[in-house]
Structure 1
Amino acid sequence: MSRRRWIGIAVAALTVPVVAGFVFVVIIDNVMSGFGACRVVRQRAFASPSGSQLVVVVWKSCGATVPDSTQASIIARGRTFSPESTPTFVSVRGHLDPVVAWSTERAVRIGFIPGPDQIYKRDERAGDVTISYE
């Protein structure tokens, strides 16, 4: 066999394990990152009287070891809701149905059906909006 052919075989023999190892690492990384990931499902949005702001309600599920929750945030109309960058003002345990009523542009009432068993977060204000709970 020629020297050139031996070099080609050696390069191929070294390349295949490196590529296979890289593919294996990428697959394992994708599988492992899925274990800690949360799934956020937007449920409803409630517009303020002028429509300039929205109360956005989402359900959040993070796997078997973390209880599911219902969360609400306020965003300006036209802005995109993002669970990573939009702060929540209320978070309760379980998947509950929200009842939201805006009194004015700067005041909103919120409740859940059924009532929550556990409240994780319950802010009285979100920016310039006052929040009351029922």
Structure 2
Amino acid sequence: MPAPGSKLRLPALIALTTGPALVVGVGLWVLTELVPECRPDVRENLTSPDGAVTLVVFGLDCGATIGSNTQAAVHMSDELFSQETAQVFFAADGAHDLAPRWTAAGEIEITEPAGATVHRRLETIDEIPVTYR
């Protein structure tokens, strides 16, 4: 350690700052490789009768250790689908065919999978009634 009031030489300063930065960077890289990335798999897109809203059925595949799920959501038709901003109204463990459809009255109908563990099941979403068959 240099005496008080003396300056560190440039090579010593670079070594003292670069070493910890490399350790932190490598540590973060290793951690991101260990955490599975969940990717959305869009299975169906159905635009509402008035064209304003899109109903999306998608799943998140998070790898073998976490498994997959099935979700139903709505988003404005003039926006691209994003799992972060879509309004999810149904979510269940596993991959399922929800057979979604819009009624002539602009309501949503989906088939609730028998025996599935359901985590979210709303009766309305953004003032749109949802019927489960």
Alignment partner, residue 127 of structure 2: 128
Deviates more, 1:60-69 or 1:81-90: 60-69
More helix as a share of residues: 1
Bigger strand fraction: 1
The aligned length equals: 125
Paired residues of 2:49 and 2:106 also in contact (CA < 8 A): no
In 1, Cα distance between equivalents of 2:121 and 2:21: 50
Q: Secondary structure at the match of 2:33?
A: helix
* 2:32 match: 30
Q: Tell me, yes or no, if the aligned pair for 1:40 and 1:61 is still in contact at 8 Å.
A: yes
2:23 maps to 21
Decide whether the 8 Å contact of 2:75 with 2:87 is kept in 1: no
Give the residue type in structure 2 aligned to 1:77: S
1:71-106 deviations in whole A, cap 9, x for unaligned? 000112111222222221111221112212211353
Give the Cα separation in 2 of the matches to 1:9 and 1:131: 66
CA distance in 1, matches of 2:102, 2:46: 8
Return the TM-score normalized by structure 2. 0.74
Gaps of 5+ in 1: 1-6
Query: TM-score, normalized by length of structure 1?
Result: 0.73
TM alignment of 1:1-134, pairs within 5 A: 17-18=19-20, 20-32=22-34, 34-35=35-36, 37-111=37-111, 115-134=114-133
2:126 counterpart letter in structure 1: G
Distance of 1:63 and 1:75 partners within structure 2: 26
Counterpart secondary structure, 1:96? coil
Aligned Cα RMSD in Å?
A: 2.6
Q: Which runs of 4+ in 1 moved over 6 A?
A: none
Greater Cα shift, 22-31 or 76-85: 22-31
Cα 1:15/1:66, change in 2 over 3 Å? closer
